[in-house]
Structure 1
Amino acid sequence: MKKFLILFLAQLKRILKNISNTGMLIFFPFAMIILILIIGFILKPKETETSKKSTEYTVQMNETAYFVDDSGDLWENFFSGSESTIRPENREKELEKAKEKLAMGKIPGLIIIPKDFSEKISKGEKPELEILKTEESVVLDNRIQALNLSINAYLLDNFIKNSDLSEKKDSLLNNNINVVFKAQDNGNIISLGLKMMTLLVLYIILFGSNAIATDLIKFRETKMLARAIISPNSEFKIVGSFLSAFVFIQVVINMVVFVFATIVFKLEITGLPLIFLAVVSTSFFALSIAILVARIFKKESQLPLASNMTSLLTIVMFFLALIAVMPFVSIPPVFKNISMFSPLYWLMEMLEKEKLFPNILIVWAMCAAIFTAGSWRIKEFNNEIN
C-alpha cells in the first residue's frame, strides 16, 4: 500500500507539472463557470417598471405573456418580465392583439390576471387565473405551476404572520410539529438550476477525457511507460496509480468547481451524496473513454484526430442528456431513446428522481464495457508503437 501511495503521489506530481494537463483539468472547469457568469451578466435583461418590484414570490414569465386586469398592484409580487399589457385604456382591443399573438404562435400562452386579484389576495383567498393556450406547452405549464406554488406560499406566510402562530414558533418546534409543502410535480429532489449546473460539471469531466487520452499516448511515446515497466513495481500498481491519479484530480477539482458555482449562482445544494456519486462515476467513464481512444490512436502525431474524436463524442453525449432531462425541451420519442446511450442521461435521472438503481449499475456497466474494449496489459500497450 505504501509503494502504491508513493507511485500515486508521483503520478499526481507528473500530471500537474504538465501545463496542458493543468489547463484542461483544473483551469478549464473554472474558466467555464466564469464564462457563464459573464455571459449571464451581459444577457441579463434591463430592469423595467414591471420587474422592479421583485419579491421572493416573483416568477419570471420570460416568453409567456400576461394581461393585467387587476385593479390593485399585488400582482407585481408574482409576475415579472415578458411582454405584458397592464390595465390598458382600450381593454378589448389590446386583449384581442394578445390573442392574435397567441394564435400566430408568437407566445406559448396568455395568462389573464383578473380584476379582483389583489382584492382576493388581501382577503387571504386564492384568485383564479384565466389561462389561454392553443396547444400543450411545457413552458407554460411550468410557469403556471410556479405561480400556484408562489401564491400558495404568499397566502400561507401572510396567514402565519397575521395569526399568533408566529409568536408560538418555538413552542411548535419543541413539540416536533412540522409543516411539509408538497409541490405537484414529479418529485424532483434538485432544482432546475442545480440540475443544469450539475450537468455542466459532468460535461466538463467528460471533456477532460481528451487530456487523459493525450497524456496516455505521450506517456507511452516518451518511453516513460517503458521505464515504469522495468521498475520492481507490479503492473497493477503502475496502472492503478496512473489511472487513480486522474480520477482523484477530476473529482476534487470538479467538486470544488461545483460548490463554487452554487455559491456564485446562489443555488441551494440538495442531494449532495448523489451528486458526488455522479461526479465519481462520470470521472471513471471519462477514464474509460480515454483508454479506448489511446488504444485506437497509437502515436503522438494522431493527437489532433484523437482530440477531435473525444470532443465530438462528449458534446454529443452532453446534448443527448440535455434534451432528454430538461423539462422545457420537447423532443420526439426516438431522440429520447437515443439519449439513453449517454451515461449523463442515467446520472441526471438518478439525481432528478433519487433513483440509485438501476441507474448507477447501467452507468458502471457502460464504464466496464468501454474499459474492457480499451483495456490493455501494460507491456502489450507499450509495444503497440513498435
Structure 2
Amino acid sequence: MKLLNLILVNIKRQLKNPAILVMLILFPLGMLLFLNGSDNEKIEKIGIINNENSIQSEKLINNLKEQYEIRELTGKINDNLELIENNELIGIYVIPNDFENKLNKGEIPNIEVYKKEDSLDTLMSDSIMESFIKDSLKEKNSNGITDNYIKTKIEKKEISDKQNESFNVIMICYFMFMGGSIISEEIINLKNQNVLKRMITTSNTDKEILGSLFISSFLIQGILSSLSYIIVVKLLKVENSNIPLGILTIFLSSIVSTSIIIAVTRWIRNITLASLTMVLFSLIMFCLGTFNSNTDFLKNPPAIFKVGIISPFYWMLKIIETGNLIIPVIILILMSLVFFTLGSFKLRDFVKE
C-alpha cells in the first residue's frame, strides 16, 4: 500500500511538470503530423500487371492513361507490392489472362487490385475499369441489358502500411528516450532539494522509494506516449495499423528508457551532464538501430551497422515490422535489467553523496 501511495504521489508530481507533457505528447504529435503531412504528396501512378496483352486489355490501359500515369509491371504481384508500401504507386491492378475471352462470351472478368486504402484516386480508377467492363458487356449483349444488371468484379486486397506504422512508433519511442533527460533532471533535483532525504526519514524503505520512482516513470512515459501514438493513428487515419502491437512496443521502450534514466542518475550527478548524456545516448542508439534495420538487404554491411543490434531501437523495429515477439521482447527486457543493475544503488548512500 505504501508503494502504491508513493507511485501516485510521484505521478502527480511528474504530471505537474509541463516539460514532460510537451516532450511526451505535444512534441511527438506536432513532429509526426508535420512529417507525415510533408510525405503525403499526391500520387497518381497506377501499376498494371497485364497477364493477357490482348486488344481489350490494351484499350482498358489506354482509358486509364487518360487520367493517370501508368506503370506496366512484370512478374508476380508479390514481386511488386513494395512499390505500394514505398508510396511509389497508389495501387496495382492485375488483369487476368482470360480478360478478353470472358468479355467476348459476355461474362464478367475478375480483376484484382492491391492498395493500402480507398482514396479518391483509387476509387476513380476503379470506376474507370467498371465503366469499361460494363460498356464492353453491353456491346456484346444484344438484348439491351442495362447497367443495373451488370456487376463488375474488382477484388480488392489491402496492403498493410508497415512503413508508416514503423516510422510513427519508432519516432514516439525516440522522443520518449529524449524526454528521459527531463525525468533524470527531476530525480537529481529531488536529491539536491533534500526531498529524497526527507523521504528516507519516514517509514518508507529504500526499495519502496526507488521502486516508486522507477514504476511512476515507466507508467508516465508508457501511458503518455501510447496516448500520443493513438492520436496520431486516428488523426492520420493510418489503415491496418496494429495498435496493440504499437502500444506493447512503446511500453517495452518505456522499460528500457526508465532503466537508462536510473543508470544515468546514479552515475552522473550534474543535471546538465545527465541531461546531455540522455540526449546523446538516445541519438546514438536511434541512429545505430534504424540504420542497421534498413541495411538488412546488404550482404556485407559495414561493421558499425552490425553493432546496431545492441540498440533497443533495432529490436523495437523488429517487433513492428515482423510481428515476432519472443526474441525481441526477451532482449529488450534483458537490456533494461542491465541498465537497472548499473543504476541500482542504496538510496541512503545516493542521498549522502
Instruction: Give the TM-score taking structure 1 as reference length.
Output: 0.64
User: What is the match of residue 83 of structure 2?
Assistant: 143
Amino acid at match of 1:350: I
Q: Does the CA-based 8 Å contact 1:194-1:269 persist in structure 2?
A: no
Match of 1:220 in 2: 191
Letter of the structure 1 residue corresponding to residue 29 of structure 2:
F
Hey, what does 1:30 align to over in structure 2? 29
- 1:5 Cα shift? 2.4
Q: Deviations over 1:89-136 (max 9, x none)?
A: xxxxxxxxxxxxxxxxxxxxxxxx5xxxxxxxxxxxxx6559xxxxxx
Aligned partners of 2:11 and 2:216 also within 8 Å: yes
Equivalent of 1:74 in 57, 64, 74: 64
**After the TM superposition, which residues 129-278 of structure 1 pair with which residues of structure 2 at under 5 Å, given as runs?**
142-143=82-83, 150-152=92-94, 155-156=111-112, 191-278=162-249
Contact 1:226 1:382 in 2 (8 A): yes
Q: Residue 373 of structure 1: CA displacement?
A: 0.8
**Which residue matches 2:142?**
none
Quickly say closer, same or farther: Cα 1:339–1:310, change in 2 above 3 A.
same
Change (3 A) 1:128 1:308: closer
Whether 1:370 and 2:335 are equivalent positions in the alignment is no
Shift, 1:257, TM fit: 0.8
Against the structure 1 CA distance between its residues 358 and 328, is the aligned structure 2 distance closer, same or farther, given a 3 Å change threshold? closer
Contact 1:291 1:374 in 2 (8 A): yes
Does the 8 Å CA contact 2:262/2:344 hold for their aligned counterparts? yes
The alpha carbon displacement at 1:197 in A equals 0.7
Amino acid in structure 1 at the alignment position of 2:83:
R
Tell me the secondary structure at the aligned position of residue 268 of structure 1: coil
Could you tell me how far 1:327 is from its partner in structure 2? 7.5
Q: 1:167 to 1:202 in 2, by over 3 A?
A: same
Tell which deviates more after alignment, 306-315 or 11-20: 11-20
The gaps in structure 2 that reach 5 residues or longer are 49-57, 96-109, 114-125, 135-148
Mapped contact 1:25–1:250 kept (Cα < 8 A): yes
- TM superposition shift of 1:182: 9.8
- Counterpart position of 2:322: 353
Letter of the aligned partner of 2:64 in structure 1? L
Q: Determine the C-alpha separation between the residues in 1 that align with 2:27 and 2:303.
A: 33
Query: Does the 8 A contact of 1:8 with 1:242 survive in 2?
Result: yes
Residue 273 (structure 1) shift:
2.6
| Matches of 1:218 and 1:328, distance apart in 2 | 43
* Aligned residue in 2 for 1:120: none
Q: 1:7 to 1:266 in 2, by over 3 A?
A: same
Q: Please tell me the residue identity of whatever aligns with 1:27.
A: L
Q: Does 1:10 align with 2:12?
A: no
CA distance in structure 2 between the partners assigned to 1:9 and 1:148 by the alignment:
48
Which residue type is aligned with residue 152 of structure 1? V
Contact kept? 1:58, 1:77, Cα under 8 Å? no
Aligned to 1:332, which of 301, 307, 310? 301
Give the whole-Å Cα distance in 2 for the aligned partners of 1:211 and 1:247. Answer: 13
Q: How many residues align?
A: 293
Could you say if the C-alpha distance between residues 31 and 143 of structure 1 is closer, same or farther in structure 2, counting changes exceeding 3 Å? closer
| Amino acid paired to 2:289 | A
The answer to whether the 8 A contact 1:78-1:147 is kept is no
Q: Distance in 2 between matches of 1:341 and 1:129?
A: 40
Question: Separation in 1 of the partners of 2:199 and 2:314?
Answer: 38
* TM-score, length-scaled by structure 2: 0.70
Cα distance 1:329–1:361, how it changes in 2: closer, same or farther (>3 A)? same
Q: Counterpart of 2:62 in 1: which secondary structure?
A: coil
CA distance in 2, matches of 1:22, 1:264: 19
Q: Distance in 1 between matches of 2:230 and 2:288?
A: 25
Say if 1:369 and 1:76 are closer, same or farther in 2 by CA, change over 3 A: farther
Q: CA 1:354–1:216 in structure 2 vs 1: closer, same or farther (change >3 Å)?
A: same
